[in-house]
Amino acid sequence: MKNLRTFHAVAIDLGHVDVRRIELSDTKRRSVGLGSAADEVVAIRRLWEQMANRALENAGSDARIDSRSLKAQGLDREATMHLGPVASDMERRGKASDRGDGNRKVAVNNAMLEQI
């Protein structure tokens, strides 16, 4: 059986960043010359996309990631739900989880959409 485990990494280096600035409201962020928190998340996702795709290319893989939403990519399919550690562990041990069941339904729906 194919291993369906999802591997991901989260790396944050705050360096000498003043943590108080990170916790500001968008109004306060704008007043001190920062963009909105949502814009910052988009920028971080784009940076991760570039770094991950470079690593995939260097590894000789044809796989690529896209940080945009399915809608922004022009893809007409339903997104799956992140399983999380508990549901992932259950699924690996062969036990169904509510989130896993939901994702299996989404996969069936998406497969039907592709055939249309």
Q: In this model, does residue 1 exceed pLDDT 50?
A: no
The Cα 76–Cα 82 span in angstroms is 19
Query: What is the arithmetic mean of pLDDT over 69-96?
Result: 94
Quick one: pLDDT band at residue 24, thresholds 50, 70, 90?
confident
Alpha helices in 1-116 (DSSP H): 19-22, 26-31, 37-58, 84-92, 98-115
Q: What is the pTM of this model?
A: 0.58
Task: Identify which has the larger pLDDT, 103 or 7.
Answer: 103
The Cα 51–Cα 70 span in angstroms is 20
Domain spans, the chain: 17-67, 76-116
pLDDT at 100: 97
The Cα 70–Cα 58 span in angstroms is 26
In whole numbers, what is the pLDDT of the chain averaged over residues? 86
Q: In this model, does residue 93 exceed pLDDT 50?
A: yes
